[in-house]
């Protein structure tokens, strides 16, 4: 082989260098991308450099590609996916060239597979987003109309100064709580998000939760077990012998954990996938059960009846852990309460029927009881009808919840269940029989399972099936809605203004008044609550007292100009108009509204206008009410396009952070800054540090008075920066120190240092948390070792559930529920939202993006079709006369949009199926399917009063639901769509010379 000369060597080096940089250079958009101007020198950090030797031949060319100057540990901090994965970030010539999973997780125990390597194709190419086509790295100010996309570069100082001035001017007139920050869904648990939230909190702005708005909040779970988010580690799935994937597609939406399901099959488990569509997960199923879309509650009720009658129900569990034995008055349909039986009786004391004594028994564990334990000293009746004498001497008939459920289930014979669901009796029987006989059934339903307006009913029926089997809070059995490891330090640091006072104590001292403290002491002395519950309740109380809050769905209703549409849609569900519910909830304090329309809007990471239903109304009615819209983002999102200022945030490989801490793996995932922030971008801690500083300066200059925020708190912007920076404890560049403080202040991870995390990337949690988030703290047995089984506080330690019955609660006697006929889990047909049209438009989280992040990068678009597609069953598409790949017109009462149709055999006829989060800019006229979704709210989710039925961030709230949307699909002349294009034929390179058949044989001599 000939030796290359020096020039050739040089050429090769140049070639390699260019290939590393080409991804960045090719991504140029013409927007200011100053980060590309110069490559940063390597920054000190972890990881050994790997260099190649001489480039002697072609093999060495390739060897040289697998070299690097530095490796940093990182993750995708703000990515709103349910997974978390640690990556090695390879830096070469100052550019992060690629990423590969670190993969150093250990087996939780020898009985289960380990978590390695985690990751997905998106994590494997975040670098394409980081240097991607919509990245903007300089501060900009709008110079044309909103949405005109006419910007000019502005200095950081000028941007901060102008925004601070405007904020003060607006707050003076409208009050600080008209500052609205779209609370999520993009956030992490490190210093950057802390800065963002702390700024909002200290300014007195409104935290407007979107968890239910996007349809992801497990409201049905909150109703039934008292909290929306629960679940253990994903390796627990492996221990099940009967895995039921019901309204979830983990092969697509939870790639890094999905292996446990397929491995459980090899371990002997049966895998059942219930989905109208033959999903990627269903391809591996032992049973694929395709019900009519939206009939899942009926299927659940049919299965529950089968289990009940099978002789395999766990009645001991049912008696102790569920509300089956609780007594309900047949006259009022309300629980029999202490206040019914005697003057001054506690209305929160509920009753069972003691079969031994043949008498009423005051149930322990319910909200009004003094005993927080569920342990039964009597044998209560599960079924039965009894006569009871009330305090006024009147006699009423009471029935057990069990009896009411039984009566309900009687309607759901296999035949009737089959009629509704369109699943054959035989298939239901096979499924139900397997369920009944299983030792450890495990249910997997995703956040996306909550997107029907009656999804709460579906979830309640699914939990009913599990409860009958006693399959909750039991190793290898149960369900997971996605629990969290509680980063207590995040919550307490959010409020900290001083050094020294930490954690739960600080929270309580900060928020409790005399009455609360007294009640707390009484609860502790009387042992009325499980220790973990104090924190939970105090957190709720604290949130209520110190946080201005609302929900996005609520504010849309108030300000988006969609009342009329939603009232019309809601009339399909309830007799009373939606407005009635809003009014009553407002009057009774069950919901909280902003004091007026939002005036100052901050967006960062999330993409409000993209995700809103009835987008047209968002743009023409809601958005113009905002006087100042600031995007603090790493990329020019559709929402950022409509803002007044764009402040460039550092990307996820450019700042210290912690990927949000879901319970699927028992590890904290650290994000290191592999390179400094690109261009002029800054991390959010610093941005809000600068902003709070300037606001404080101006407030002092103007002697801005103390302001009232939402009637709850008083804020003094003259002290804003002092509070934000904890009186100078944290400087502008101190994001790492802030993140370290969050760690120090989180008891389940405290002691871990950032220095260690820079080396290892991950650290194992020692408990799920003992702090303030109303998430998952109910796992007292887990101390960092072994598989995490959730909810053993109740099932093993017999403490009451955080519901007002104190039990897994299937009967809800709230007047609204009774009126709506939803006191018990029932099946209700999916309302025809948007009008009576032949297709139900159903979405799934996407394989190829996390919402709009990754949606616009060529690398991944090339592995799709480059444009949004609506999946339609091939036979139906042919009947409609729409060829594969053609644009079609999608329409309903709300309007018309164009979208390409993709033929498939996976989708159920009658359904138009899409993988969500395509950006409006990817559609003709920049109008996507969201223009067609009314987003019906479910009025009952504003119910308040007892126990679990109270508004709370991440807990229970009004949402908006999209899966009920109906559309028509019709052929459209392709030239009509093309005519909407600003330059239909310009700028496209000629389609090669190969518009020719693949077969070339005939052209040969």
Partner 1 sequence: MKKETVKLMTAPAGMQPGGYVMKAYADRVNPAIEAAQLEVENAGQRWRIQLRWACDKPLSTVQGETDLFPDACAIFVPTTAGAPWITMGDKGKAVEGLLWRADQEKPMGIRAEGMGTMQRSAAQDDWSVKAAWSEGYWTVTFQANGWAALKQHQQVALAIWRGSAQDRGGLKSVSQGWIAAV
Partner 2 sequence: MKYNVPTPKRQVAMVLDLNKCLGCHTCSVACKKLWNSDDGTDYTYWNNVETMPGKGYPAQWPQTGGRTATGEVKQGELPNLDNAYGRAWTFNNKAVLATDQASKKKEWLRPQESPTWGPNWDEDHGAGQYPQENHYFYLPRLCNHCEKPACLDACPRQSIYKREEDGIVLVDQDKCHGYRFCVEACPYKKVYFDHQRQVAAKCIFCMPRVEEGTAPACARQCPGRLRFVGYRDDKDGPIHKLVDKYKVALPLHPEYGIGPNVFYVPPMSPPKLDDQGRPLDEMRISMSYLENMFGKAVHGAMDTLLAERDKRRQEQPSELMDLLIAYDWNESFKLDGKTREVI
Instruction: State which of positions 944-1003 bind partner 1 (CB under 8 A).
Output: 992-994, 1000, 1003
Nearest C-alpha neighbor of 799 from the set 374, 183, 345, 210: 374
Whichever of 9 and 922 has its CB closer to partner 1, that residue is 9
Residue 443 φ/ψ, nearest 5 degrees: -105, 130
Within 910-929, which residues bind partner 2 (CB under 8 A)? 919, 921-926
Rounded to an integer, what distance in angstroms lies between the CA atom of residue 530 and that of residue 516?
17
3 part of the interface to partner 1, by CB under 8 A: no
CA angle 758–763–765, rounded 5-degree value? 150
> In the complex, what is the shortest distance from the CB of residue 76 to partner 1, in angstroms, rounded to a whole number?
34
In which element (H, E) is residue 970 found?
strand 966-971
Structure tokens at 11: 């050429």
Structure tokens at 57: 């031949």
Give the count of residues interacting with partner 2 (CB under 8 A): 132
Residue listed under structure tokens 């049905």: 220
Whichever of 982 and 991 has its CB closer to partner 1, that residue is 991
Whichever of 53 and 992 has its CB closer to partner 1, that residue is 992
Whichever of 344 and 997 has its CB closer to partner 1, that residue is 997
Within 863-882, which residues bind partner 2 (CB under 8 A)? 863-867, 871, 873-875
CA atoms within 13 A on the CB side of 365: 31
Whichever of 57 and 93 has its CB closer to partner 1, that residue is 57
37 part of the interface to partner 2, by CB under 8 A: no
Whichever of 525 and 990 has its CB closer to partner 1, that residue is 990
247 contact partners, CB below 8 Å, separation of at least 6: 274, 275, 296, 445, 446, 448, 449, 458
Give the one entry of partner 2, partner 1, none that residue 268 binds, where binding means its C-beta sits below a cut-off of 5 to 8 angstroms depending on kind: partner 2
Interaction mask 887-906, partner 2, x per CB under 8 A:
---------------xxxxx
- Contact with partner 2 (CB under 8 A): which of 55, 71, 72, 125? 125
- Contact with partner 1 (CB under 8 A): which of 575, 983, 988, 1004? 1004
Distances (CA, A) of 821 to 480, 630, 812, 816, 817: 27, 44, 10, 9, 6
**What 3-state DSSP class applies to 244?**
strand
- For the chain, the straight-line distance linking the first and the last C-alpha, in angstroms and rounded, comes to 36
CB atoms within 10 A of CB 172: 13
> In the complex, what is the shortest distance from the CB of residue 656 to partner 2, in angstroms, rounded to a whole number?
24
- Contact with partner 2 (CB under 8 A): which of 268, 344, 393, 514? 268
Whichever of 924 and 934 has its CB closer to partner 2, that residue is 924
Whichever of 500 and 997 has its CB closer to partner 1, that residue is 997
CB atoms within 10 A of CB 62: 11
- Contact with partner 1 (CB under 8 A): which of 986, 991, 999, 1005? 1005
Give the count of residues interacting with partner 1 (CB under 8 A): 7
Structure tokens at 443: 């249910």
Within 397-456, which residues bind partner 2 (CB under 8 A)? 422-424, 426-427, 430
Give the one entry of partner 2, partner 1, none that residue 409 binds, where binding means its C-beta sits below a cut-off of 5 to 8 angstroms depending on kind: none
DSSP line for 775-815: S----TT-SSSS-----HHHHTT-BPPSSTTSSB------H
- Contact with partner 2 (CB under 8 A): which of 515, 989, 1002, 1005? 989
Within 830-849, which residues bind partner 2 (CB under 8 A)? 847
Whichever of 419 and 733 has its CB closer to partner 2, that residue is 419
Within 707-726, which residues bind partner 2 (CB under 8 A)? none
> In the complex, what is the shortest distance from the CB of residue 668 to partner 2, in angstroms, rounded to a whole number?
20
Phi-psi region of 333 (alpha: psi -120 to 50; beta: other; left: phi over 0): left
Nearest C-alpha neighbor of 401 from the set 479, 471, 464, 470: 464
Residue listed under structure tokens 């702390």: 198
Residue 442 φ/ψ, nearest 5 degrees: -130, 130
Whichever of 392 and 1002 has its CB closer to partner 1, that residue is 1002
> In the complex, what is the shortest distance from the CB of residue 616 to partner 2, in angstroms, rounded to a whole number?
12
Give 747's DSSP letter. Answer: T
- Contact with partner 2 (CB under 8 A): which of 6, 266, 343, 515? 266
The torsion of the CA quartet 332, 333, 338, 344, rounded to 10 degrees, works out to -30
**Alpha-carbon torsion 877, 879, 880, 886, what sign?**
positive
Whichever of 421 and 957 has its CB closer to partner 2, that residue is 421
Rounded to an integer, what distance in angstroms lies between the CA atom of residue 520 and that of residue 537?
9
**What 3-state DSSP class applies to 657?**
strand
> In the complex, what is the shortest distance from the CB of residue 998 to partner 1, in angstroms, rounded to a whole number?
9
Give the one entry of partner 2, partner 1, none that residue 61 binds, where binding means its C-beta sits below a cut-off of 5 to 8 angstroms depending on kind: partner 2
Interaction mask 484-503, partner 2, x per CB under 8 A:
--------------------
Structure tokens at 246: 């019901």
Give the one entry of partner 2, partner 1, none that residue 120 binds, where binding means its C-beta sits below a cut-off of 5 to 8 angstroms depending on kind: partner 2
Rounded to an integer, what distance in angstroms lies between the CA atom of residue 370 and that of residue 349?
9
Give the one entry of partner 1, partner 2, none that residue 1003 binds, where binding means its C-beta sits below a cut-off of 5 to 8 angstroms depending on kind: partner 1
CB atoms within 10 A of CB 905: 10
Bridge partners for 892 per DSSP: 895
340 contact partners, CB below 8 Å, separation of at least 6: 329, 390, 391
Interaction mask 577-616, partner 2, x per CB under 8 A:
----------------------------------------
Stretch that binds partner 2, among 264-272, 482-490, 565-573, 655-663 (CB under 8 A): 264-272
Give the one entry of partner 1, partner 2, none that residue 266 binds, where binding means its C-beta sits below a cut-off of 5 to 8 angstroms depending on kind: partner 2
- Contact with partner 2 (CB under 8 A): which of 75, 102, 134, 493? 134
Distances (CA, A) of 11 to 18, 20, 60, 270: 10, 14, 13, 58
Structure tokens at 745: 């202040």
Distances (CA, A) of 739 to 743, 766, 810: 6, 18, 41
Whichever of 266 and 998 has its CB closer to partner 1, that residue is 998
> In the complex, what is the shortest distance from the CB of residue 867 to partner 1, in angstroms, rounded to a whole number?
22
- Contact with partner 2 (CB under 8 A): which of 161, 286, 537, 722? 286
Interaction mask 143-182, partner 2, x per CB under 8 A:
-xx-xxxx--------------------------------
Whichever of 351 and 915 has its CB closer to partner 2, that residue is 915
In which element (H, E) is residue 523 found?
helix 514-525
Residue listed under structure tokens 């460039």: 648
30 part of the interface to partner 2, by CB under 8 A: yes
Give the one entry of partner 1, partner 2, none that residue 733 binds, where binding means its C-beta sits below a cut-off of 5 to 8 angstroms depending on kind: none
> In the complex, what is the shortest distance from the CB of residue 992 to partner 1, in angstroms, rounded to a whole number?
6
Rounded to an integer, what distance in angstroms lies between the CA atom of residue 739 and that of residue 860?
32
Structure tokens at 223: 């109703």
Instruction: Sort 298 into a burial class: Cβ within 10 Å, 0-12 / 13-18 / 19+.
Output: buried
Contact residues: partner 1, CB under 8 A = 992-994, 1000, 1003-1005
């Amino acid at each position: 082989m000939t030796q290359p000369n020096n020039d050739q060597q040089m050429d090769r080096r140049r070639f390699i260098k260019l290939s590393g940089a080409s991804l960045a250079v090719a991504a140029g958009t013409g927007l200011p991308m100053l980060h590309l101007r110069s490559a940063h020198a390597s920054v000190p950090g972890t990881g050994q450099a790997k260099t190649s030797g001489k480039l002697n031949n072609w093999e060495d060319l390739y060897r040289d590609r697998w070299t690097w100057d530095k490796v940093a540990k990182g993750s995708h901090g703000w990515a709103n996916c349910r997974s978390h994965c640690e990556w090695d970030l390879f830096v070469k010539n100052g550019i992060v060239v690629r990423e590969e999973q670190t993969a150093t997780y250990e087996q939780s125990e020898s009985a289960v597979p380990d978590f390695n390597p985690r990751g997905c194709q998106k994590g494997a190419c975040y670098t394409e987003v980081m240097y991607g086509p919509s990245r903007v790295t300089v501060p900009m100010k709008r110079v044309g109309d909103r949405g005109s996309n006419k910007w000019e570069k502005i200095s950081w100082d000028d941007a901060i100064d102008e925004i601070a001035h405007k904020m003060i001017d607006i707050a003076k007139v409208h009050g600080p709580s008209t500052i609205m920050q779209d609370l999520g869904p993009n956030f992490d648990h490190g210093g950057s998000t802390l800065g963002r939230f702390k700024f909002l909190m200290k300014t007195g702005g409104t935290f407007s939760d979107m968890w239910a708005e996007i349809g992801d909040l497990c409201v049905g779970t909150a109703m039934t077990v008292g909290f929306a988010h629960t679940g253990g580690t994903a390796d627990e799935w492996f221990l099940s012998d009967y895995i039921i994937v019901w309204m979830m597609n983990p092969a697509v939406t939870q790639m890094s954990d999905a292996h446990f399901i397929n491995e459980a099959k090899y371990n002997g488990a049966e895998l059942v996938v219930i989905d109208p569509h033959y999903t990627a997960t269903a391809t591996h199923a032992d049973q694929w059960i395709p019900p009519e879309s939206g009939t899942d509650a009926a299927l659940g009720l049919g299965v529950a009846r089968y289990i009940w009658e099978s002789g395999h129900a766990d009645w001991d569990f049912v008696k102790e852990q569920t509300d089956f034995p609780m007594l309900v008055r047949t006259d009022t349909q309300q629980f029999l309460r202490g206040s019914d039986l005697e003057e001054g009786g506690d209305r929160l004391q509920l009753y069972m029927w003691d079969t031994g004594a043949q008498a009423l028994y005051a149930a322990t564990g319910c909200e009004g009881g003094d005993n927080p334990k569920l342990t039964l000293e009597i044998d209560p009746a599960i079924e039965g009808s009894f006569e009871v004498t009330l305090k006024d001497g009147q006699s009423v008939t009471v029935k057990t919840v069990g009896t009411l459920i039984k009566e309900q289930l009687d309607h759901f014979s296999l035949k009737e269940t089959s009629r509704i669901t369109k699943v054959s009796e035989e298939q239901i029987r096979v499924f139900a029989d397997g369920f009944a006989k299983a030792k450890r059934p495990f249910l997997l339903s995703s956040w996306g399972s909550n997107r029907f307006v009656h999804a709460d009913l579906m979830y309640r029926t699914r939990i009913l099936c599990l409860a009958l089997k006693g399959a909750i809070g039991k190793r290898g059995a149960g369900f997971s809605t996605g629990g969290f490891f509680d980063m207590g330090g995040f919550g307490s640091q959010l409020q900290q203004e001083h050094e020294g006072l930490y954690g739960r104590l600080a929270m309580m001292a900060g928020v409790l008044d005399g009455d609360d403290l007294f009640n707390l002491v009484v609860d502790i002395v009387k042992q009325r609550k499980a220790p973990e519950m104090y924190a939970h309740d105090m957190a709720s109380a604290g949130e209520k007292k110190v946080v201005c809050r609302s929900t996005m769905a609520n504010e849309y209703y108030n300000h988006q100009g969609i009342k009329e549409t939603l009232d019309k849609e809601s009339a399909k569900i309830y007799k009373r108009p939606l407005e009635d519910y809003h009014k009553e909830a407002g009057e009774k304090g069950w919901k909280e509204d902003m004091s007026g329309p939002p005036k100052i809007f901050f967006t960062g990471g999330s993409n409000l206008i993209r995700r809103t239903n009835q987008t047209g109304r968002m743009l023409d009615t809601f958005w113009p009410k905002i006087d100042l819209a600031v995007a603090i983002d790493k990329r020019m999102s559709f929402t950022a396009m409509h803002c007044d200022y764009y402040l460039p945030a550092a990307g996820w490989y450019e700042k210290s952070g912690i990927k949000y801490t879901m319970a699927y793996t028992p590890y904290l995932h650290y994000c290191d800054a592999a390179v400094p922030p690109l261009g002029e971008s800054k991390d959010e801690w610093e941005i809000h540090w600068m902003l709070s500083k300037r606001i404080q300066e101006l407030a002092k200059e103007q002697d801005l008075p103390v302001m009232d925020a939402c009637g709850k708190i008083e804020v003094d912007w003259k002290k804003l920066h002092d509070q934000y920076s904890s009186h100078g404890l944290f400087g502008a560049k101190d994001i790492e120190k802030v993140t370290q403080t969050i760690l120090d202040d989180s008891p389940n991870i405290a002691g871990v240092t950032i220095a260690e995390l820079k080396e290892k990337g991950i650290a194992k949690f020692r408990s799920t948390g003992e702090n303030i988030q109303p998430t998952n703290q109910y796992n007292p047995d887990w101390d960092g070792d072994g598989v995490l089984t959730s909810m053993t506080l109740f099932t093993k330690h017999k403490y009451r559930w955080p519901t007002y019955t104190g039990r897994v609660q299937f009967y809800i006697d709230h007047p609204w529920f009774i009126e709506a006929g939803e006191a018990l889990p029932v099946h209700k047909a999916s309302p025809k939202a948007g009008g009576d049209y032949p297709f139900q438009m159903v979405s799934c989280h996407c394989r190829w993006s996390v919402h709009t992040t990754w949606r616009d990068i060529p690398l991944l678009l090339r592995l799709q079709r480059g444009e949004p597609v609506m999946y339609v069953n091939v036979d139906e598409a042919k009947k409609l006369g729409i060829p594969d790949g053609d644009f079609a017109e999608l329409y309903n009462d709300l309007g018309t949009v164009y979208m390409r149709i993709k033929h498939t055999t996976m989708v159920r006829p009658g359904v138009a199926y899409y993988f969500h989060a395509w950006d409006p800019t990817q559609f003709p006229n920049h109008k996507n399917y969201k223009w067609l979704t009314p987003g019906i709210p479910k009025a009952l989710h504003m119910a308040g009063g007892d126990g679990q039925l109270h508004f709370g961030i991440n807990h229970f709230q009004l949402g908006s639901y999209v899966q009920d949307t109906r559309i028509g699909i019709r052929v459209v002349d392709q030239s009509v769509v093309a005519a909407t294009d600003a330059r239909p034929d310009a700028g496209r390179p000629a389609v090669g010379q190969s518009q020719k058949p693949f077969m070339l044989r005939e052209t040969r001599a």
